[in-house]
Amino acid sequence: MNGKLMQGAIRALRLGSCSQWPASVARITVRAYATPPKRFYKKTSVLSSDGGYEVVLDHRKLKTPKGTPFLVRSEPLAIAVATEFDAQKEHIERSRMHLSALCFTAIDNPNNLTKLDMVNYLLNFIPTDTVLFQYDDEKDLQDLQLNEWDPVIAWFNQRYETNLQKTLNITPPQVSEEDKMKIAKHLHSYSLDTLHGFIFAVDTLKSIILACAVIEQMLTVEKAVALARLEEEYQLKFWGRVEWAHDLSQQELQSRLAAAVLFVHLNCSEYFVKQKSIL
Amino acid sequence: MSGTKVLRSLLHELRQASPNGCIKDNLAARYILAQYKKFETTDQQLCKARNEAIFLGQTYLTYLSSQRNYTELYKEFHGRGERSVRDTADLVGFKLPTDPK
């Protein structure tokens, strides 16, 4: 990869230095995007088959990118995916279908991750957690972080019986082995599918503490995204809000996080109804 | 947000998302309505965590509305490439040589 880049750079330099080359020869690079596939179906529906629910586009069964049939255990999840496919207008915008993408990733598991890999990935996230890095040089920002982030850290410490401490300078916070074990134990209680959703949430928020809080229903999705973007929001007050950057990223993060939270909840919530027997 | 408000917003978003604007036989709408019927009296008696149903509803609402807002912003601001000669001429009030005087 690097070698190729170097070669490209050297060629560009050579092209620039040779004056006898007419300017028109210099190649203009055009980024070619793949056109999204057209919407080839009219109606979407959900089929219940043994062991799960399938999504049907007209009469074709939905398949994952790897070619395995789409099959999920939860009915609402299948309905949500069918609705998402139904919401596509002329083209199927796959990059914006977070819920379907998450299901596909969980079914295909393209990186062949095991539960241990994923838990380790999440554990390695703790020392770089967003809410543990606070800033004490600016009074207003520090107050904001103190009021908004500290209660979440306190909740996390209480909920998982850990002792995570925030840091006010560049040194990463110390996480003891004991705390790591406790969090790992909690994460291991989730299934492999659910952990995919968990990783998606953590990657979106850049914080395992906020992700746990929103999955445990302590925060709403909007609030969690606002907390993850706390400093950005603070700086916006001075430098102005740009719709195509700040709003766009906020909406994107919200939809990603909501997809992850839905996925986790619908995958691990099982309930049964106990009916009164009428004698 | 109260349960009724979430339901109304959810149906609104689903209507916006559906291709023909009609959710009479929409799967998701039916499912959500059925869930509402089920948890009408309480959402604690069915061994669900407190307020779990309403939380899920709110999360789905956020998902739908954020998707819609994102698409709107993207459509508004995403570059459509270079303007054609005619577009540029129209922009500054010029006429093309081929246009009638």
Q: What residue segments make up the domains of chain A, in order of their start?
A: 44-108, 115-268
- Higher confidence at residue B44 or residue A50? A50
Confirm whether B98 is domain-assigned. no
Res. A3 pLDDT band, cuts 50 70 90? low
Confirm whether B101 is domain-assigned. no
First to last CA, chain A: 75
Res. A272 pLDDT band, cuts 50 70 90? low
For residue A10, pLDDT over 80 is answered with no
A83 contacts A55 by C-beta, under 8 angstroms: no
For residue B46, pLDDT over 70 is answered with no
Q: pLDDT by residue (tens digit) across A114-172?
A: 999 999 999 999 999 999 999 888 999 999 999 999 999 999 999 999 999 999 988 88
Confirm whether B57 is domain-assigned. yes
B70 neighbourhood in chain A, CB within 8 Å: 96, 248, 251-252, 255
Residues A226-234 have a mean pLDDT of 94
For residue A24, pLDDT over 90 is answered with no
**C-alpha to C-alpha distance for B3 and B65, rounded to whole angstroms:** 17
A122 contacts B86 by C-beta, under 8 angstroms: no
- Total domains in chain B come to 1
| Predicted complex ipTM | 0.83
**What's residue A136's pLDDT?**
85
Confirm whether B86 is domain-assigned. yes
**C-alpha to C-alpha distance for A207 and A134, rounded to whole angstroms:** 13
A72: helix, strand or coil = strand
Confirm whether B44 is domain-assigned. yes
- Higher confidence at residue B70 or residue B25? B70
Contact A243 B73 (CB under 8 A): yes
**What's residue B81's pLDDT?**
79
For residue A17, pLDDT over 50 is answered with no
Domain containing residue B67: 3-92
B18 neighbourhood in chain A, CB within 8 Å: 86-87
Confirm whether B100 is domain-assigned. no
CATH number belonging to the domain at A115-268, selected among 2.120.10.30, 1.10.3470.10, 3.40.50.300, 1.10.3580.10: 1.10.3580.10
For residue B12, pLDDT over 50 is answered with yes
Confirm whether B14 is domain-assigned. yes
- Closest partner residue to A248 (CB to CB) among B31, B47, B73 is B73
The correct answer on CATH 3.40.50.720 for the domain covering A44-108 is no
What is the pTM (predicted TM-score) of this model? 0.83
**C-alpha to C-alpha distance for B8 and A259, rounded to whole angstroms:** 20
